[in-house]
Copies of this chain bind each other. A is one copy, B any other.
């Protein structure tokens, strides 16, 4: 479990660098805010709805919207 139920930031660590796009049901992007200084990206997986933090610094995260459009 990498997501804390409460607290300032939701992700406890930097997050994974890659998730196979086909496994992703949705991605939530939380911009920096007063409760968490850095952006957080949380992916919900199709299989069972598991949530994973995705490292926003990765090329995969940066290009996710572009990549999904090419499908």
Interface residues of A (CB under 8 A from B): 21, 24-33, 39, 41, 56-57, 61-62, 64-66, 68-69, 71
Contact = CB atoms under 8 A, between A and B. Distances in A.
- The A interface is mostly helix, strand or loop, or mixed, namely mixed
Contacts of A30: 25-26
A42 to B, nearest CB: 9
Contacts of A61: 65
A9 B9 CA distance: 30
Contacts of A64: 29, 65
Nearest to A37: B71
Nearest to A41: B65
Given A61-B65, A66-B62, A31 B21 contact: yes
